[in-house]
Structure 1
């Protein structure tokens, strides 16, 4: 399975950490966020990394080159920051089967393998981790609305008035059906092509979608304090005793 990593963002909210590097290259626990992403994807079985670059792309390309830990890397270029669905379409010609997707500014210590397994078992067109966040933070994310059976009926990106506090995290698996949905996405109120809108189109068309509850933790590194929290959590994980 190929793995797509979205790493084109500038990270303006992470200033001054991103003055000379893209946000995926901000170090957490002595390694760039992208290194943590790559390690996890390879552990999940990725046999190729397709990395979408943009802002200061040469920093990423010079650092990793054309392979990481023996796994080849292909780079695509998002020339304008027009949203995640727009970024994903830059990899369409390189991906022709099911694939993993991770946002290159997220740090996980969680059940990512459950997403891969469930998507394969259910032959779902999309599977992703969800978690409940504080209501005041929900508007930062793609928010899931559910029916009385707990099934996701709608996904909306960064709503002013969130319908729930259940949000998508930054790890997904997809079939190529997601590319068709991305082509149909219209610009949001923010002027961006949102991946949440593409997923919502899959839902409304009756496609099989799996949402798996987060077991562990995830930090979306959007601000310097997020980076500090992720580093503390990783260091705590390193100090946990090994079970005998």
Structure 2
């Protein structure tokens, strides 16, 4: 099974850290963001990594080479950052569904394996990790409308008036129908090809799309303040685990 990381962005909000390196190589708790994403994929059993790269992509290739922890890596270049659906469309030139997709600027300590398990149990076209947030937060990301049993009814990206406060958390499992869906997406008002729009096409075409509630946490690393907050969270988690191992 292929695991895809969407990691082509320039990371302008991370300046000055991204002035001389891609966002994917910015370190969080002494490890590059992309390593955190790769580890998330390996934790659910992928056997090949596909990295969608763009800004300073040669730096990423030079850092990782063709393997990460003995798992092969393929690189796909997104020459223009035209949105997450466009990035996944680029990846599908080499990645084969079913596949797992993660946002490259996320760090997770969460029930990722439950998303893959639900996907297999239901034979869904797409399965999403979701979380309930505030209405203000919902305006900034992909919003999900779902039934009580987790069946998704609709998705919309960054709505001015969110129809719910359930949002995507940057971890997805997709079946074969995602390929035509990302090809059919049209640009949003922001001029981007959005992944939630592709998933919404799946829903309205009658495909099964499932949502799995987040257990644990997922953090977006968008700016230096996020980086420090996530690093502190990881350090606290590591300290807690070490105390547990030592019987404290």
What TM-score range do you get, normalising by the shorter chain? over 0.9
- Give secondary structure in 2 for the equivalent of 1:93: coil
| 2:137 is the counterpart of 1:101 | no
> TM-score, structure 2 length as denominator?
0.94
Mapping 1:19-168, distance limit 5 Å: 19-146=19-146, 151-168=151-168
Cα deviation, residue 176, structure 1 = 2.1
How far apart in 1 are the matches of 2:13 and 2:172?
Answer: 24
How far apart in 2 are the matches of 1:149 and 1:123?
Answer: 15
Counterpart position of 2:171: 171
How far apart in 2 are the matches of 1:164 and 1:203?
Answer: 17
Q: Which ranges in structure 2 are unaligned for 5 or more consecutive residues?
A: none
- Give secondary structure in 2 for the equivalent of 1:130: strand
Cα deviation, residue 97, structure 1 = 2.9
Counterpart position of 2:244: 242
> For each residue in 1:199-219, what CA deviation from the matched residue of structure 2 results, as whole angstroms up to 9, or x when unmatched?
000111111111000000111
The total of aligned residue pairs comes to: 244
Cα deviation, residue 145, structure 1 = 2.4
How far apart in 1 are the matches of 2:125 and 2:228?
Answer: 35
- For the 8 Å contact 1:95–1:176, the answer to whether it is kept is no
- Give secondary structure in 2 for the equivalent of 1:16: coil
How far apart in 1 are the matches of 2:71 and 2:55?
Answer: 23
How far apart in 1 are the matches of 2:102 and 2:148?
Answer: 30
> For each residue in 1:171-228, what CA deviation from the matched residue of structure 2 results, as whole angstroms up to 9, or x when unmatched?
1010121110001100000000000000000111111111000000111111221111
- Structure 2 vs 1, CA of residues 242 and 79 (structure 1 numbering), >3 Å: closer, same or farther? same
> TM-score, structure 1 length as denominator?
0.96
> For each residue in 1:17-36, what CA deviation from the matched residue of structure 2 results, as whole angstroms up to 9, or x when unmatched?
21111212111100011111
Runs of 4 or more, structure 1, over 4 Å off, are 147-151
Counterpart position of 2:220: 220
How far apart in 2 are the matches of 1:242 and 1:103?
Answer: 31
- Structure 2 vs 1, CA of residues 149 and 48 (structure 1 numbering), >3 Å: closer, same or farther? closer
How far apart in 1 are the matches of 2:176 and 2:234?
Answer: 33
Cα deviation, residue 148, structure 1 = 7.2
> For each residue in 1:129-169, what CA deviation from the matched residue of structure 2 results, as whole angstroms up to 9, or x when unmatched?
10012221111110112457764321111112211211001
- Give secondary structure in 2 for the equivalent of 1:197: helix
- Give secondary structure in 2 for the equivalent of 1:17: coil
- For the 8 Å contact 2:151–2:208, the answer to whether it is kept is no
How far apart in 2 are the matches of 1:119 and 1:23?
Answer: 30
- Give secondary structure in 2 for the equivalent of 1:94: coil
- For the 8 Å contact 2:128–2:168, the answer to whether it is kept is yes
Q: Which ranges in structure 1 are unaligned for 5 or more consecutive residues?
A: none
